[in-house]
Amino acid sequence: MKVLQFREAIAEAMSEEMRRDESVYLMGEEVAEYNGAYKASKGMLDEFGEKRVIDTPIAELGFSGIAVGSAMGGTRPIVEFMTFNFSLVGIDQIINNAAKMRQMSGGQFNIPIVFRGPTGSAGQLGATHSQSFENWYANTPGLKVIVPSNPYDAKGLLKAAIRDDDPVIFMESEQMYGDKGEVPEGEYILPIGVADIKREGTDVTVVSFGKIIKEAYAAADELEKEGISLEIIDLRTIRPMDHEAILNSVKKTNRLVILEEAWPFASVSSEITFQVQENAFDYLDAPIQRITTADTPAPFSPVLLEEWMPNKNDVINAVKKVMYR
């Protein structure tokens, strides 16, 4: 095993797939000359040249459309958005073209394309730069949605996404790019749609994904001192979702808390809650608790932002609530 930063794992996954398959290329704002806005494509221009690592204008609608068209022609584009907030400019190409082309063409066209970049809040960046759209994209048939939480998962899942014949939304975090973790020396690929039990426990199941899962780990350490054991499931993939992993855990612990960095209405946690009450209702010993951001645009004020964002204390309180403590 070797230790890589999250950004290095992303760059390594893309580089390995570009060496393996000449139809793979990367395009986006600052991905080439600047080595990526977050240095997630460092060194790739030098290795692959300007025809396969392409700097674009600030025009998400345009380069998203170019990528969809080129995917129809046989390439496998990787499109980097500086953040997924900016993907809204090109969302028509993603929702109405990439996601629907296979069905609308009667299977004549696959769209093997990866749209990747940061999601969620990165601190004091204001309301329009701090949004999580995992549930938006997961609501769209034809798209797969991946949100890794560590370098190991990021590399293995990104390689799987690049090789997939369907469009994949791959969401990262500006606040994770410097995170370090162990990554195997050799090639490995993680299957899309398989959750991972990051921490086994007996008392309460906590389901989360992306960078906010760190708050669940911190809460688990605190609660362990009180004799409360959390089982933490990292979804890794939002669509397709690994319902079986969640249900099996709930059947063991009989309690469920869901933690996500998004607004509460029509959230990923809402879908999980429905699936569990429909398929494991008799196993629940307490109502399901979900933890989300406040139902407002993200504030700029650091004091308000701290209140807006879920934290380990929110997890601790939710766990104690389902345990009636």
Catalytic residue (one of 129, 174, 215, 271): 129
Task: Supply 241's token pair.
Answer: 């979702």
Assess whether 60 carries a catalytic annotation.
yes
Assess whether 261 carries a catalytic annotation.
no
Catalytic residue (one of 8, 12, 29, 60): 60
DSSP 295: S
**Beta pairing, strands 230-234 & 196-199:** antiparallel
Q: Report how far residue 175's alpha carbon sits from residue 208's, in angstroms, rounded to the nearest whole number.
A: 17
**DSSP codes, 178-216:** T-EEEE-SS---PPTT--EEEE--SSEEEEE-GGGHHHH
Q: Are 153 and 8 in contact (CB under 8 A)?
A: no
| Contact residues for 108 (Cβ-Cβ < 8 A; gap 6+) | none
Question: Helices marked H in the chain — which ranges?
Answer: 6-20, 44-48, 60-72, 91-92, 101-104, 134-138, 151-163, 213-224, 243-253, 268-279, 302-308, 312-322
Task: Supply 191's token pair.
Answer: 């299957």
Identify the three-state secondary structure at position 131. Answer: coil
Task: Supply 250's token pair.
Answer: 């709930």
Name the residues annotated as catalytic: 60, 129
